[in-house]
Amino acid sequence: MARPAFIPEDKWQLISQGARGSQITRSMHFGVFAIAVYDWFLCIKDEVTLLQTAGVPPAKAAYFLCRYWPLVAHPVILWIQGFDHSRDFCERHFRMPLYIVIVNFALAASILTIRIYAFSGYNRAVVITLGLCLAAVASYQIWVVATQIMLVSEGSGCYPVEPQTHFQFLSGYFFSPLIFDIIAMMFFLARAVSVFTFKPSLASDLTKRFLGEGFAYFIAISLINFANSAMSFQTATVAYSGVVVPLSMLLPNILACRLVINLRSAAEPKTSTSPSSGNVAPTFEFASSPVPRSPVSPNNAVKFSPFGLSEHRLRSTSVSRGGQSTTEIELSTRSDGLSTTLDGHDEPSG
């Protein structure tokens, strides 16, 4: 499009860059939402199975909120930022997308907190620290949206910008989740190192899968938050500072839900059911010493539930078969309303 004669060259460049940046951001919004819907369709069967399990424990509730809140709320963001609106409309609604993103972050972070809490052996210091970090990040973001942003001065897009101050609070809004990710990754890596310090070959497939996918989750989310923060803090091309924002709005929720589904899928082949237990969720196992032919040891196993809080009860009985005495160990596990019974047999004692 040719520059009108009455518009100076420098101002026309800013307008053109702003229009291109707005187009890219809107395309990213629709593209990322399409990925979220596609991933939801892929996981519907697994979610129906999860929904059929008994009770509504915190981990299960967090999963469904993390999955369905973005699917319901992101169309509001598309409506506000994906189309041109009047100045009056934007003045009234331009803050709403950022409030929605705060909830998105809190839900994805809550799933991550539950997973690390279980992986750490239910260490209360871990869950309290991560909970306080999550609350601090969310509180800062709410304060920024309520008091430290303004509507972009030109154009018909409803986009927030930094006021002309020495502090880049809006950039800090996008940087603060990266701080939470780093702290959470430190807890995750500390526990992973302790696991692999003691004979990693004894870690179950489920534990190894959580280690691998959990690390990949941290790397992906941290890279996106870092890129988003870098684009927000830079001042050379302000018009393009928001092009990565749509990724940070939805991708953490998509990956958090996929992590839970993948862990559950990895656990299913090792699942057994009893007439009264229904659907089940077995635990991670990491034994400190080899236990021949026995998947469970009463004293030397650390167990992590795929869905969070769990109770473990062991019962051993002696049974005589063909003149040989055999010890049967039964592990009854209840994990956030999901139950399972796993039976293991020790070597014959005589």
Q: Which stretch, 13-17, 160-164, 231-235, has highest mean pLDDT?
A: 160-164
Across 203-222, average pLDDT = 80
Residue, of 291 and 218, whose pLDDT is higher: 218
Mean pLDDT rounded to a whole number for the chain: 75
Average pLDDT over residues 129-158: 91
Q: How far apart are CA 160 and CA 85, in angstroms?
A: 14
Region 237-244 average pLDDT: 72
Confidence band for 7, pLDDT divided at 50, 70 and 90: low
Per-residue model confidence (pLDDT) at position 51: 85
With a cut of 70, say whether residue 325 has pLDDT above it: no
Answer whether residue 235 shows pLDDT above 80. Answer: no
Quick: pLDDT tens for 19-45: 777 888 889 999 999 999 999 999 999
Count how many residues are written for the chain: 350
Instruction: Give the model's confidence band at 264: pLDDT under 50 very low, under 70 low, under 90 confident, else very high.
Output: confident
User: What is the Cα–Cα distance from 68 to 108, expressed in whole angstroms?
Assistant: 12
* Lowest model confidence (mean pLDDT) among 45-59, 73-87, 329-343: 329-343
Look at residue 55 in the predicted model and tell me its pLDDT.
77
* The Cα angle at residue 200 between residues 339 and 108, in degrees rounded to 5: 55
Structure tokens given for 63: 């999963």
Tell me, what's the pLDDT at 335? 41
Residue 15: CA count within 13 A, CB half-sphere: 13
Whether residue 299 is predicted with pLDDT greater than 50 in this model: the reply is: no
Contact (Cβ atoms closer than 8 angstroms) between residue 300 and residue 289 = yes
Q: Which residues pair with 302 in a beta bridge?
A: 286
Model confidence at 241, pLDDT cuts 50, 70, 90, reads confident
CA distance 330 to 112: 30
**Highest-pLDDT range among 65-74, 195-204, 288-297, 320-329:** 65-74
Band (266; pLDDT cuts 50, 70, 90): confident
The DSSP string of 172-203 is HHHHHHHHHHHHHHHHHHHHHHHHHHS-GGGB
Residue 304 has pLDDT above 80, yes or no: no
| pTM score, whole prediction | 0.73
Per-residue pLDDT averaged across 214-221, rounded? 87
pLDDT tier for residue 111 given thresholds of 50, 70 and 90: very high
Position 146 confidence tier, pLDDT thresholds 50, 70, 90 = very high
Q: For residue 308, name the pLDDT band (cuts at 50, 70, 90).
A: very low
